[in-house]
A and B are shown apart, each in its own frame.
Chain A
Amino acid sequence: MATPTTAGDHDESKRDFLTLTAGGFAAVGAAVAVWPFIDSMNPSADVLALASIEVDISGIELGQRVTVKWRGKPVFIDRRTPEVIEKAREVKLGELPDPQTDADRVEKPEWLIMVGVCTHLGCIPKGQKPSEPHGEFGGWYCPCHGSHYDTSGRILKGPAPKNLIIPPYTFATDTKIKIG
């Protein structure tokens, strides 16, 4: 069979339309086929299911900082003394790269609960133990690239862009919190 050679015999715009729609559908089809593979790399159901924990905080003394593990990451629990709370409140919002009041970061001022992961590149800041460096503002200090956090866990100096993250949590009772 001879293939038609003259364009004039055919409606060219119709042909272009067919090519474009066929190509478009193929592209959408390919994208739909790729998605399950990409999404298979996202957290699986069991990883999502393990996403909440309960912590008994009755044994934590005033002024003590404790670390628990949640979703593979450390969570810092700090039972703050009145002086430490006062220090956090004194920081002026204008000085903060990521402005947030101390009150916005706690349920109860005495209990500061944060994800202990530096918002720069994910190291764990020092300061949970009295022997560790606490940074220039008495809170936490990330040694990886030098980020200083205040006693409310807010970034004041260094490359980290955000304050330490507050995880979703509730006080189940006065001595028990549920994180996640």
Chain B
Amino acid sequence: MAGENRTIDNKLLKWVDDRLPVVSQMQHEMYDYPTPRNLNYWWNFGSLAGFVLVIMIVTGIFLSMHYTAHTDHAFESVEHIMRNVNFGWLIRYIHMNGGSMFFIVVYIHIFRGMYYGSYKKPRELLWMIGVVILLLMMATAFMGYVLPWGQMSFWGATVITNLFSAIPVVGDQIVTLLWGGFAVDKPTLKRFFSLQYLLPFVLVGVIVLHVMALHKAHSNNPLGIDMKGPQDSIAFHPYYTIKDLFGIGVFLMVYAAFVFWAPNFMGHPDNYIPANPLVTPEHIVPEWYFLPFYAILRSIDFGFLFIPAKLLGVIAMFGSIGVLFDLPWLDTSPVRSAKFRPTYRIFFWVFLLDCVVLTFVGGNAPGDPVFSGVAWFKWIHLGQIATLYYFAHFLVVFPLLGYLEKTKPLPASISEPVLKGGGNAPAGAAAGAVKTAPMEKA
């Protein structure tokens, strides 16, 4: 694997590379980067997320050329994009649905990490940088949703910025500072536009750190055990570049289906009503990807000791992402992959279900009954149960399982179970023995 000195044939490229070693650096990261040979398709979602970010940046830059960040013109300028600008509808729908696709991809990426224990030593920092990326994405998407200046834009912005008023003593000053006035208004819209342009580029920087941390620790894999030698790995290029590209192809089919046939499926019709600061819509709901967190916020309708309900709700909401930072230390099990953790595997699926339940809770009015026949059981009650479980999963299940669970024996190496499979083993396995020569030579 690593160590071979590749040559650059093109004279001009070589001249440049001798002075600015970008090409050899890329070669080093792509060809010489050893990747576990057993990665499954759940490992596609990282590069897929990067791909979506590029789409968001490109479409965003083109939207900005026609968009007007002014309360009197924002809504109109988005309609102008939709009706007058050549292919404006396409660029906007790509951007609008891209936000949702971005979150789908990243949520799968995160659940993949949870299932296979990718946050455990030595990948703690890699995981934590990932959580920072999630937070930045949320901020970007939130501010982006404000830009079209529809009813949901305005009232979503009002409710979310008001969260900060729960902070004791300085809360109200902070909210006034965020707004640049006494309500969400022109200054707010303009600064959101400025920051929405900036944050994706900050994201790019943080993603570079994410990948640096990845290339130090190397990829985890479905077995969750370390690569022990060349027989366990395979070069990133061409094997995984082609697999990632295939994944992008499949992904684009799904994405295009939304863009062309159901562009508003994941949006809310109220956002096609211009913002009206004097009328709150009947039900304020955030974009679907925020619903679980919104459900947690709303499920806290009680105070605790000296903490009022409003502050406690905000703490719970931010805490639900905060616990992710601590996950590497909350999980006490030495075994990474859920493949060998039969009990954790069950809890994983229950947790996933819990998040789905929270999503539904977030989309329904807290006071409505969950089942039409059972009046006393309201969405807020379901939300409280689901919120309790969410935190219990991290704060109780994870720490205890490490001690209580009887894990299955781990294979001796990555190649062992792969090569035992015989005929279908991938390229390089032909030699059949664990002690084959380095991959490139097989």
Contact = CB atoms under 8 A, between A and B. Distances in A.
Given A44-B187, A67-B278, A143-B280, A122 B159 contact: yes
B238 interface: no
A123 interface: yes
A145 B295 CA distance: 11
Interface stretch (B74-82, B130-138, B200-208, B305-313): B305-313
Interface in B191-207: 191
A106 to B, nearest CB: 23
Contacts of A47: 180-182, 185, 187
Main secondary structure of the interface of A (DSSP, over half): loop
A160 B310 CA distance: 7
B280 A41 contact: no
A47 B177 CA distance: 13
B441 interface: no
B278 A69 contact: yes
B129 interface: no
Interface string A37-70: 0100111100100010000000000000001010
B123 to A, nearest CB: 34
B213 interface: no
B280 A123 contact: yes
A42 to B, nearest CB: 6
A116 to B, nearest CB: 8
A123 B278 contact: no
A76 to B, nearest CB: 11
Interface residues of B, number: 36
Contacts, number: 85
Contact of B183 (A42, A44, A71): A71
Interface string B336-379: 00000000000000000000000000000111000000000000
B181 A123 contact: no
Contacts of A43: 176, 179-182, 187
A124 interface: yes
Contacts of B310: 120-121, 159-161
A120 B313 CA distance: 11
A161 B308 contact: yes
A44 B367 CA distance: 40
Interface in A9-58: 38, 41-44, 47, 51
B280 A42 contact: no
A41 B158 CA distance: 17
B26 interface: no
B301 interface: yes
Interface string B254-281: 0000000000000000000000011110
A42 B176 contact: yes
Contact of B155 (A42, A72, A123): A123
B176 A73 contact: no
B315 interface: no
A159 B158 contact: no
Contacts of B92: none
Nearest to A120: B310
A38 B278 CA distance: 29
Contacts of A121: 158-159, 162-163, 165, 310
B181 A72 contact: yes
Given A72-B183, A158-B301, A159-B309, A42 B366 contact: no
B284 interface: yes
A178 B250 CA distance: 63
Contacts of A120: 162, 310
A121 B286 CA distance: 14
B292 to A, nearest CB: 16
A74 interface: yes
Interface in A138-180: 143-146, 158-161
The 3 A-B residue pairs with the shortest CB-CB distance in the complex, in nearest-first order: A72-B183, A71-B182, A122-B162
23 contacts: A41-B191, A42-B176, A43-B176, A43-B179, A47-B182, A47-B185, A51-B182, A69-B277, A72-B184, A73-B182, A74-B278, A120-B162, A121-B158, A121-B162, A121-B165, A122-B165, A123-B280, A124-B280, A143-B280, A143-B365, A144-B159, A145-B366, A159-B309
Given A42-B177, A47-B180, A122-B165, 17 more contacts: A41-B178, A41-B191, A42-B176, A43-B176, A43-B179, A43-B187, A44-B187, A73-B277, A120-B162, A122-B162, A123-B284, A146-B366, A158-B301, A159-B298, A159-B313, A161-B308, A161-B310
